Amino acid sequence: MNNRLYLYILVMAAVTYLIRVLPLTFIRWEIKSPFIRSFLYYVPYVTLSVMTFPAILTATKSIWSAGAALAAAVFLAYKEKSLFKVSLTACAVVFVIELFL
């Protein structure tokens, strides 16, 4: 069983390495297509959003407190407040709502 675990880790490391190295190896020219450039520009933002959004909604006891904190955080971020103020307000909103629910 232990040897199988090392094999799994080795295969996973090889696949991860190949996914990162192959585009750098085969795409050596500048990408001129505006569609592909804009697509590649937004990939990190979309990936981060897809990973964090479900975690935001499941991090608290109630989905209502998570939703309210998310709404407050989005509102303050839209108003260009600092990251510290946004996160502190989101935590306070969760605390207050879960205190009364």
Q: Which residues contact 86 (CB under 8 A, 6 or more apart)?
A: 73, 76, 77
CB-based contact 60:66 (threshold 8 Å): yes
Q: Rounded to an integer, what distance in angstroms lies between the CA atom of residue 60 and that of residue 73?
A: 15
Question: Roughly how many angstroms between the first and final C-alpha of the chain, as a whole number?
Answer: 47
* pLDDT at residue number 1: 65
Cα angle value 87/92/94 (rounded, 5°): 95
Q: How far apart are CA 96 and CA 101, in angstroms?
A: 9
- pLDDT tens-digit map of 32-91: 889 988 988 998 889 888 998 899 989 999 999 999 999 999 999 999 999 999 999 999
Q: Report whether 63 contacts 88 (CB < 8 A).
A: no
- Predicted local confidence at residue 80, as pLDDT: 95
